[in-house]
Amino acid sequence: MAIGGALGSLGGDITSANINPAGLGLYKTSEFILSPGFALNNNKFNYRGTDTTNNKNKFNYGPIGFVFGHSNSRKSEFSSSAFAISVNQLANYNNRIQFKGFNNQSSFTEQYLEELVRDRADTFAALDNYIFGSSLAFRTFLIDTLRGNSGEVLGYKTLVDSALRHGGINQDYISSSRGGYHEIALGLAGSLQDKVYLGGSLTIPVSYYERTLTYSETDATANPNNNFESFTFQEKTKSFGIGLGLKLGAIFKPTDAWRLGFAFHTPQLMTFTDNIRSSLVANTEGYAHTRSESSDNLNDGNAGERKYNIVTPYRAIASASFVIEDKTGDTKKQRGFLSADIEFVNYRGARYSQVNEEDDDEAMRSYLKMTNAAIKDYYKGNFNFRLGGELKFNTIMVRLGGAYYGSPYSDEQLKASRTVASGGLGYRNKGMFIDLTYSHTFVKDVVFPYRLNDKANTYAEQTGSRGNVVMTLGFKF
């Protein structure tokens, strides 16, 4: 972390198992590593001209595990080899997103209209088939039928429309989440005469995500007779996923000072189970007064459950590093290094599928098909860059680094990136080491409160920063 994550060709660190497993081949001794940490989120949002700030801090952790390295006999093609088992948190989902603003162009409820019209839903379907969204709106009369002169149903309408057209509405979005993306890695690597290093990691990704979303709209006109005063929608989601993947890598030393590396992360296959609960309270004034409904009431008190597979995007990393050698050539007296990585991520390559392809759930199949089409439309492949270095003063090391992660969105109007600045100190002596790092990430992103197909979508522009403090304590044995 202290060198911006630029570890692809450097090796000699337990996190090589997550980046370029060939780096484990530089180990000739064994060690145990423990890394507690603390994350700080400072978010800023601008939504339709209104600024909002919020914060959320949480404990987290870095790599924890063992590396078992040893030198092999002269008869072996590999002069040394190493095996590592570790767990590492690669993403922290603890966050709070909050923004609000005035809107006279669109409403959250219009996504329900689109869903009912797209599916040509009759009133029976509108009542019972969409228990986490459209059915809640229909049962609270936030969405109601459009009828002809003879009483026949011609379509659907949103009661927010009158306030929207004759003044506007105030919108408020609050999302609080927690969890993380963790990776268990079993890494194996070897050194061919300390010139070529080859390695691979069998990875077990584990993801847990929990979010509470509260979204509300309020009539900005204060008109008591336009059939809309306010509504509040709440959704609680829990998601757990586990999978399997493979990371392969190689490092080549053309000279003692230079190292060149390449790594490929195969797509990981993960299976997720989601639990979801939704509720809605709507005040339509004299039209239907205040009514409430929840998915629990429509699902025998149970949370809704959905299971699906996801194939994650592949990654390819090319890297180079220059090691500042001591004149004696003793690797224990190296004076420092510079290291750089270039990484390509195929963001648009993520794909969802049913857990059981023989399942006759046509609605789920159709939903996942639309999700995959949306991924191809909204995302693109992109490059990320990492650079870092270290200077060594006997038992003390000083490190600096930086990284730039480009936008994954295909729409160039959506400004998104992450710029990382990091630094740290290390101490090594008599088989024990302590490292302390602070990493500061400058964030640009966008958050859509909802998406519509027949209108220009509105979104919040996110800026702000994330801080991460991590300490690593290690022992060689």
DSSP assignment string, 303-365: PEEEEEEEEPPPEEEEEEEEEE--TT--GGG--EEEEEEEEEEEGGG-EEE-SSTT---HHHH
Q: Give the mean pLDDT per block of 10 residues along the chain (477 residues).
A: 94 94 94 94 94 90 94 77 95 93 95 92 93 96 89 88 93 96 96 92 97 97 92 97 97 93 97 97 95 96 94 96 73 80 96 83 84 93 96 93 95 93 94 95 95 91 94 94
**Which residues fall within 8 angstroms of residue 137, CB to CB, at 6 or more apart?**
109, 112, 143, 158, 280, 282
Phi, psi dihedral angles at 331 (to 5 degrees): -65, -25
Element (H or E) spanning 177, and its range? strand 169-192
CA atoms of 136 and 81, how far apart (whole Å): 60
Question: Within 10 A of 272 (CB to CB), how many other CB atoms are there?
Answer: 18
pLDDT of residue 464: 92
The string of DSSP codes covering 393-437 is ETTEEEEEEEEEE---BS-TTS--EEEEEEEEEEEEETTEEEEEE
pLDDT of residue 56: 87
Q: What is the CATH number of domain 16-476?
A: 2.40.160
pLDDT of residue 148: 81
Burial status of residue 373 (CB atoms within 10 A of its CB: 0-12, 13-18, 19 or more): exposed
Check: CB of residue 94 under 8 Å from CB of residue 39.
yes
Domain ranges across the chain: 16-476
CA atoms of 416 and 208, how far apart (whole Å): 24
pLDDT of residue 327: 59
> Measuring CA to CA, which residue among 107, 102, 46, 99 is closest to residue 220?
102
pLDDT of residue 161: 93
CA angle 380, 386, 387 (to 5 degrees): 160
The model's pTM is 0.88
Check: CB of residue 247 under 8 Å from CB of residue 266.
yes
Check: CB of residue 277 under 8 Å from CB of residue 304.
yes
Residue 191 amino acid letter: S
pLDDT of residue 80: 87
CA atoms of 38 and 420, how far apart (whole Å): 16
